[in-house]
């Protein structure tokens, strides 16, 4: 019987404040590459299904048409409910079909939640660890009647009575080519790079958990991978590593590979930095890259909170590092809102300190994830929503605290110069210290007094784009009138107005500027020019025209004010 494998993922469509991030599910692409690179699996038919849809029926129809012998689900918190609906349909359609789940949320602690018992009971097996070699074994043997006893690295749920097969060896990551090396990664999408796997720091709130960081890709592997990024014509590059600078061996390999390929020097590069371990040789490498946008995950400035959650942090060293990197690369300070053990007053102090130090600040609602806080929920008095995995209350935060402080944070972001407003995270840009000093030099003493004292909270430019209710209205209108399209956020920047959208084929950024004679644009309305970045083909361009019709009235009001 011909082996036919459907690999299924839900594209989360990351909402990018810079308007350059065009996502896809890289994890499922890596698994397909592990199958494509196995010589004995060359005749296997593979369907990779990575849809931005939230409707299980969309996935079911595509899988049903393919008629697979096995379905593999790449499971994250945002795909659990969708996969529950998909597996229900698949079991009714073909009860004998082999269905396995892997990914960060394919964990016993998740699937044993009452919410997900139906999903658990429709699965044949779960891959709780890394999937490259385990998936190869499943593809080889899933048509054999005794496959459950032959394959290591599986957990087998039988209505909650879990049993494990023998332990699987950790993959030697250099032995599995990346999708970029094989030329099968999507073209013109954000490029992904992994230089090492795991993390040497084991923070309680992080899903890296206890995974070691001793496996690195060597320079030859990374050289082939970087060349694949060039061939895929990626608009920017995102590093999946826990941080650029947490594995010296991996960083040396990256430097050697880039010296031969030279693709990053012309790229916009995103990734994380861990400030305690930043050295001059890291900065010298970043100086050679066209643009670096680094995220520095502070989470909290409360040392007691971080210490309890296993995150070492030296505030004095951090401030010294910021002086080194300011002007050499762009950086965001990332905070975690509602962190167990924190509290409202401490979080406000963290925000105010971040506004003094950062160029851009992002604050994310804390999620209770498997291999992290989910396993410590009772210890930290955490109550949470099993659908969104957002914390409803926990040690240090009542439900009323979380609601009130999120409203405060959202309102603070609304008043910033370039707000990013979402249901689960907000971001705002801060006028730099140098710019503030230049502006204050021309300010009279009376003007300075009227502007208020007490830090950067008062220095935020009070220029909201859309109030929360107006943004909700516009989102509803887009969803109703432009089929297959949705609005995520609205951003105003000096060079234009930006609508962050999701369309039928992925994330799209719609840019609006004043119409100039001779300039190229996608559509024009009453003196405004609309252009877009992201996947829009002939079939979906009509929907984007409808989106423009919906947002144009607001754009007319907002563009002149930028």
Three-class HEC string of 339-357: CCCCCHHHHHHHHHHHHHH
Name which residue leads in pLDDT, 81 or 16.
Answer: 81
Res. 538: pLDDT tops 80: no
Residue 551: pLDDT band (50, 70, 90) is: very high
How far apart CA 290 and CA 267 sit, in angstroms, is 6
Q: Alpha carbon of 73 to those of 68, 104, 372, 437: distances in Å?
A: 13, 11, 21, 53
Q: What is the pLDDT of residue 85?
A: 97
Res. 448: pLDDT tops 70: no
Residue 222: pLDDT band (50, 70, 90) is: very high
Q: What is the pLDDT of residue 343?
A: 94
What angle separates helix 80-93 from helix 56-66, to the nearest 10 degrees?
A: 40
Q: What is the pLDDT of residue 70?
A: 98
Q: What is the pLDDT of residue 457?
A: 40
Indicate the range of 202-211, 440-449, 484-493 predicted with least confidence.
Answer: 440-449
Identify which of 20-29, 168-177, 507-516 has the greatest average pLDDT.
168-177
Residue 330: pLDDT band (50, 70, 90) is: confident
Q: What's the chain's average pLDDT? A: 86
How far apart CA 499 and CA 477 sit, in angstroms, is 14
Q: 131, 101 in Cβ contact below 8 A?
A: no
Instruction: Give percent of the chain above pLDDT 90.
Output: 53
Q: 531, 498 in Cβ contact below 8 A?
A: no
Instruction: Give percent of the chain above pLDDT 70.
Output: 88
At 254-311, the pLDDT tens digits run 999 999 999 999 999 999 998 778 888 999 999 999 999 899 888 888 878 877 777 7
- Total-model pTM: 0.76
Res. 364: pLDDT tops 60: yes
Residue 451: pLDDT band (50, 70, 90) is: very low
Q: What is the pLDDT of residue 56?
A: 95
Res. 513: pLDDT tops 50: yes
Q: What is the pLDDT of residue 199?
A: 82
Q: 267, 290 in Cβ contact below 8 A?
A: yes
How far apart CA 129 and CA 118 sit, in angstroms, is 22
């Amino acid at each position: 019987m011909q082996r036919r494998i459907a690999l299924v993922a839900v594209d989360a469509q990351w909402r990018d404040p810079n308007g350059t991030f065009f996502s896809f599910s890289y994890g499922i692409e890596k698994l397909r590459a592990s199958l494509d690179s196995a010589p004995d699996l060359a005749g296997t038919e593979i369907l990779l299904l990575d849809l931005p849809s939230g409707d299980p029926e969309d996935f079911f129809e595509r899988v049903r048409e393919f008629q697979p012998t096995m379905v593999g689900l790449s499971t994250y918190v945002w795909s659990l409910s969708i996969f529950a609906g998909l597996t229900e349909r698949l079991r009714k359609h073909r009860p004998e079909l082999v269905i396995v789940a892997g990914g960060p949320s394919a964990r016993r602690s998740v699937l044993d939640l009452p919410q997900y018992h139906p999903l658990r009971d429709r699965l044949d097996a779960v891959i709780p660890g890394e999937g490259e070699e385990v998936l190869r074994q499943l593809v080889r043997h899933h048509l054999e009647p005794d496959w459950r006893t032959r394959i290591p690295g599986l957990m087998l749920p039988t209505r909650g009575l879990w049993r494990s097969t023998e332990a699987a060896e950790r993959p030697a990551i250099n032995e599995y080519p990346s999708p970029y090396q094989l030329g099968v990664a999507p073209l013109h999408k954000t490029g992904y790079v992994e230089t090492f796997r795991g993390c040497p720091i084991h923070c309680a709130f992080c899903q890296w958990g206890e995974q070691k960081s001793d496996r690195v890709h060597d320079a030859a592997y990374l050289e082939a991978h970087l060349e694949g990024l060039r061939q895929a014509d990626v608009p920017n590059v995102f590093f999946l590593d826990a941080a650029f600078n947490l594995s010296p061996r991996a960083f040396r390999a990256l430097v050697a590979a880039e010296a031969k390929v030279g693709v990053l020097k012309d790229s916009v590069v995103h990734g994380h930095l861990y400030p305690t371990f930043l050295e001059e040789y890291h900065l010298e490498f970043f100086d050679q890259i066209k643009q670096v946008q680094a995220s520095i995950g502070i989470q909290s400035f409360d040392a007691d909170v971080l210490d309890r959650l296993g995150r070492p942090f030296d505030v004095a060293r951090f401030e010294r590092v910021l002086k080194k990197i300011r002007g050499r690369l762009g950086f965001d300070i990332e905070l975690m809102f509602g962190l167990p053990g924190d509290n409202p007053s401490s979080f406000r102090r963290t925000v105010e300190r971040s506004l003094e130090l950062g160029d851009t600040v992002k604050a994310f609602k804390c999620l209770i994830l498997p291999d992290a806080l989910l396993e410590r929920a009772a210890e930290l008095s955490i109550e949470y929503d099993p659908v969104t995995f957002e914390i409803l209350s926990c040690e240090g935060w009542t439900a009323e605290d979380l609601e009130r402080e999120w409203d405060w944070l959202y309102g603070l972001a609304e008043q910033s110069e370039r707000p990013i407003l979402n249901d689960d995270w907000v971001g705002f840009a801060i006028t730099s210290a140098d710019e503030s000093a230049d502006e204050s030099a021309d300010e009279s003493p009376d003007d300075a007094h009227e502007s208020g004292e007490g830090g950067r909270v008062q220095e935020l430019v009070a220029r909201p784009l859309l109030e929360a209710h107006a943004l909700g209205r516009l989102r509803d209108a887009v969803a109703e009138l432009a089929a297959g399209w949705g609005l995520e956020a609205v951003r105003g920047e000096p060079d234009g107005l930006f609508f962050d959208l999701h369309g039928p084929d992925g994330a799209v950024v719609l840019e609006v500027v004043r119409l100039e004679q001779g300039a190229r644009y996608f559509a024009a309305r009453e003196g405004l020019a609309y252009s877009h970045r992201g996947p829009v083909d002939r079939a979906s361009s009509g929907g984007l025209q409808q989106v423009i019709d919906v947002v144009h009235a607001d754009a007319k009001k907002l563009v002149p004010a930028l």
